[in-house]
Amino acid sequence: MSPNTASRPAAKRGPRNWEPVLRNLPGNIVIFGVLALGIITMLLPFVWMLSASFKVEEKILLYPPTLWPDPWTLENYRYVFVDLGFMRFVMNSFIVAFFTISGHVISGSLVAFGFARMRFPGRNVLFFLVLSTMMIPFQAYMIPRFLIMRWLGLLDTLAAVFLPYLFGGAFYIFLMRQHFMSIPFELDDAARIDGCNSFQIYWRIAMPLAKPIVVTVAVLEFLSAWTSFLEPLIYLNTQDKYTVSLGLSLLRSGFSGRIAWGPMMTATALSALPPLIVFLVAQKQLIGGIAVTGIKG
Amino acid sequence: MATQVTTTGRTHVRKRMTARERREAIEGYLFLSPWVIGFVIFTAGPMLASLALSFTKWGLIDTPVYIGLGNYIKMANDPLVWHSLSVTVRYTLLTVPLRLVISLAIALILVRPIPGVYAYRGIFYLPNLLGGVVTALLWMWVFNPDYGILNYLLSLVGIAGPGWLNDPDWALPAIVIMSVWNVGASVILFIAGLQAIPAHLYEAAELDGAGGWAKLRFITIPMLSPTLLFFLISSIIASFQVFDIVFVASSGAGGPMRSTLVYLLYFYQNGFKFFNMGYASALVWLLMVIILFLTAIIFRSSGRWVFYESEVRR
């Protein structure tokens, strides 16, 4: 059995049972009112964004506003893909995400394995140090990091954005360590008797059993890399190096002082698409991770 | 006394370390080495460097000049430091309680087995996927005073909506609304906390005739208090570090009329617009001290209001 910790005692699927709902009708009307209001607030900005992305400019600047585009147009999408070169930003973001995910998975799992399965002096102190780095705001070391990247000649390259994350990060190390702790130690002993060294135990036993947690790390890190803004902002200057969030801020500043709402909402909608797809595909792995992070994002 | 025991214990271990144990220790350090290298080069080293820089005056192209506490004295007399701190505190005081009440209310609803509950949880989580930039752009369009949908909806109920992000009085509240829109992660956190409360407590309370309010007040809130502590610390820290949405919504200026000039935006302007690297480093160290101080206060007070079940069992 894979020792996946994500499964919960709660039922997997909500029971389709209206009886308890009807028992306390007035209270439930209030509850469903709140719920409906909340869901509208969550979804309306998305709908409003999509509607603008399919509208012609004259209809966007119309009062009273209309939700349904009339006529429908793909001009905004053409502009974003062709004139703005949005796919370049998407590619750059994917490159950054690929490297940060690889770094967190490879380096992070090695470190996590060391903390979970090896005995050495100072282990607890070092692990406490790892955890305490989660409390430090990025800005605390942002300026010297910028100087390091300048010194390395990496300014205005994507490498500057992902390089520090090739060495692993505290939160993911913590997640993977918890997972490695749950693998029975008898497996290690049996493997050692068969002549495996520690690295082989990591690679042949621990990692194959860690697939669920690796997926969780990959998903969380994809979302985090995709939406990362401050680091690309300080390192990247030329437009063809921009990641998606920087490309978006380009539209924000507008042209000749006026914001082009149609293209801006189109690019916004497009950049929301990859996270939404990842969320729909990997919802289960994600929710397990969120319950731990709580406030991430 | 306690330290003495551990030191002797440690030397004891070191003496008795067999060849196998020594080998395992070396391998252990090798496993840790990626993080150690990254930590030294990209976190610990830079932190010390930024502390050192905070005692210098440096414009990036000239050589740093040691000025002692000069930057810190300048900060105390810089009205924009106090202004940006006050904007950040106001932002925090609005965001954290609003987020707490809203996410707790939604979590209390979505922890019940109502039909479609998993879909609702997903919907509430959606905004959290987007990040600050997309959130800000999306809401700028909603808040647009001339063509935006929010002021149109307000006009339907007879309210003349404000200029939101163009209005110095309403820009910060607009930023608060944008950021509270991302309640989903806290909702999930609270749902997880609520699910961990044993059902027998509620059953016992019902036998004693407790109503809904009494159950919330005397079971849910105390049993949820460890989660609340975690929420408070992480969301206050996050609020003090608000940057992305304000940067995008105000084009990096913190306007209108500096009404949204949050602390880190002022830090960013000093570092990467005016290139006062020394002063910016001092600014960020003040923030670190403030965050540390707030965390310590919350932790110290938590003994009074956070309830751990294990304490009773003991």
Nearest to A112 by CA among A121, A123, A100: A123
| CB contacts, 8 Å: A21 with chain B | 114-115
| CB contacts, 8 Å: A136 with chain B | 43, 47, 288
> Which residues of chain B form CATH 1.10.3720.10?
72-313
- The residue count of chain A comes to 297
B297 touches chain A (CB under 8 A): no
The alpha carbon of residue A153 is apart from the nearest alpha carbon of chain B, in Å, by: 15
> Token pair of A216, please?
């969780």
The 3 state secondary structure assigned to B62-99 is CCCEECCCHHHHHHHCCHHHHHHHHHHHHHHHHHHHHH
> Token pair of B63, please?
């050589």
Query: pLDDT at position B14, please?
Result: 53
Q: Does domain A80-293 have CATH number 1.10.3720.10?
A: yes
- How remote is the C-alpha of B2 from its chain's centroid? 35
* pLDDT tens digits, one per residue of B10-59: 444 556 778 888 888 999 999 999 999 999 999 999 999 999 999 999 99
- Residue to substitute from A134, A167, A296, interface B, most B β-carbons within 10 A: A167
- Cβ atoms within 10 Å, residue B217: 12
The structure tokens 């408070």 sit at B232
Q: Where are the domains of chain A?
A: 19-74, 80-293
Whole-complex ipTM: 0.86
A45 touches chain B (CB under 8 A): yes
B61 touches chain A (CB under 8 A): no
Query: pLDDT at position B112, please?
Result: 85
Nearest to B305 by CA among B227, B238, B235: B227
The structure tokens 């997997």 sit at A12
Query: pLDDT at position A256, please?
Result: 59
Nearest to B42 by CA among A218, A146, A174: A146
Check CB contact under 8 Å for A248 and B47: no
Task: Return d(Cα A128, Cα B43) in angstroms, integer.
Answer: 15
Check CB contact under 8 Å for B188 and A144: no
If you average pLDDT over residues B128-157, what whole number do you get?
91
B234 touches chain A (CB under 8 A): yes
Which 8-state DSSP code applies to residue A255? B
The alpha carbon of residue A3 is apart from the nearest alpha carbon of chain B, in Å, by: 20
Statement: the pTM of the whole predicted model exceeds 0.80: yes
- Contact status, residue A222 vs residue A243, Cβ threshold 8 Å: no
Q: pLDDT at residue B257 above 60?
A: yes
* pLDDT tens digits, one per residue of B45-81: 999 999 999 999 999 888 899 999 999 999 999 999 9
The alpha carbon of residue A99 is apart from the nearest alpha carbon of chain B, in Å, by: 15
Instruction: State the first-to-last Cα distance of chain A, in angstroms, to the nearest integer.
Output: 33
If you average pLDDT over residues B133-144, what whole number do you get?
93
Question: CB-based contacts of B241: which residues, under 8 Å, 6+ apart?
Answer: A137, A139, B264, B287
| CB contacts, 8 Å: A8 with chain B | 195
Check CB contact under 8 Å for B129 and A272: yes
Q: What does the pLDDT profile of chain A (297 residues) look like in tens digits? A: 334 434 344 444 444 556 666 667 777 788 888 899 999 999 999 999 999 999 988 888 887 888 888 889 999 999 999 988 999 999 999 999 999 999 999 999 999 999 999 999 999 999 999 999 988 888 999 999 999 999 999 999 999 999 999 999 999 999 999 889 988 888 888 888 888 888 999 998 899 988 889 999 999 999 999 999 999 999 999 999 999 999 998 888 766 567 888 999 999 999 999 999 998 888 877 766 665 554 343
Minimal Cβ distance to B28: which of A11, A45, A114: A114
- Contact status, residue B125 vs residue A279, Cβ threshold 8 Å: yes
Count of pairs with CB atoms under 8 A, one residue in A, one in B: 289
Buried b (16+ CB within 10 A) or exposed e, B251-274: ebbbbbebbbbbbbbbbbbbbbee
- Chain A residue nearest residue B152, CA to CA: A64
Minimal Cβ distance to A14: which of B35, B117, B123: B117
- Cβ atoms within 10 Å, residue A158: 20
| CB contacts, 8 Å: A31 with chain B | 109
CA A35-A36-A41 angle, to 5 degrees, is 100
A37 touches chain B (CB under 8 A): no
| DSSP notation for chain B | -HHHHHHHHHHHHHHH--HHHHHHHHHHHHHHHHHHHHHIIIIIHHHHHHHHHTTEE--SSS--EE-TTHHHHHHHT-HHHHHHHHHHHHHHHHHHHHHHHHHHHHHHHHTS--TTHHHHHHHHHGGGGTHHHHHHHHHHHHH-TTT-HHHHHHHHTT-----GGGSTTTHHHHHHHHHHT--HHHHHHHHHHHHTS-HHHHHHHHHTT--HHHHIIIIIHHHHHHHHHHHHHHHHHHHHT--HHHHHHTTTS--STTTT--HHHHHHHHHHTS--HHHHHHHHHHHHHHHHHHHHHHHHHHHHH---HHHHH-
Q: Which residues pair with A258 in a beta bridge?
A: A255
Q: What is the mean pLDDT of chain B?
A: 89
Check CB contact under 8 Å for A227 and B192: no
Minimal Cβ distance to B118: which of A14, A31, A291: A14
Check CB contact under 8 Å for B230 and A17: no
Phi, psi of A163 (to 5 degrees): -50, -50
Q: What percent of chain B has pLDDT over 70?
A: 93
- Residue to substitute from B108, B133, B269, interface A, most A β-carbons within 10 A: B133
The alpha carbon of residue B102 is apart from the nearest alpha carbon of chain A, in Å, by: 9
Query: pLDDT at position A127, please?
Result: 95
Check CB contact under 8 Å for A295 and B231: yes
- Residue to substitute from A120, A154, A231, A253, interface B, most B β-carbons within 10 A: A120
The structure tokens 């719920």 sit at A35
| Residues 50-79, chain A, touching B (beta carbon < 8 A) | 52, 60-65, 67
If you average pLDDT over residues B73-99, what whole number do you get?
97
Question: CB-based contacts of A177: which residues, under 8 Å, 6+ apart?
Answer: A112, A115, A116, A127
Helix%, strand%, coil% for chain A, nearest 5: 75, 0, 25
Check CB contact under 8 Å for B113 and A17: yes
Check CB contact under 8 Å for A141 and B43: yes
Burial of A40 (0-12, 13-18, 19+ CB in 10 A): exposed
Task: Return d(Cα B85, Cα B283) in angstroms, integer.
Answer: 11
- Contact status, residue A149 vs residue A235, Cβ threshold 8 Å: yes
- Chain A residue nearest residue B34, CA to CA: A167
A227 touches chain B (CB under 8 A): yes
B242 touches chain A (CB under 8 A): no
The alpha carbon of residue A149 is apart from the nearest alpha carbon of chain B, in Å, by: 10
B146 touches chain A (CB under 8 A): yes
**What is the architecture of the domain spanning B72-313?**
Orthogonal Bundle (1.10)
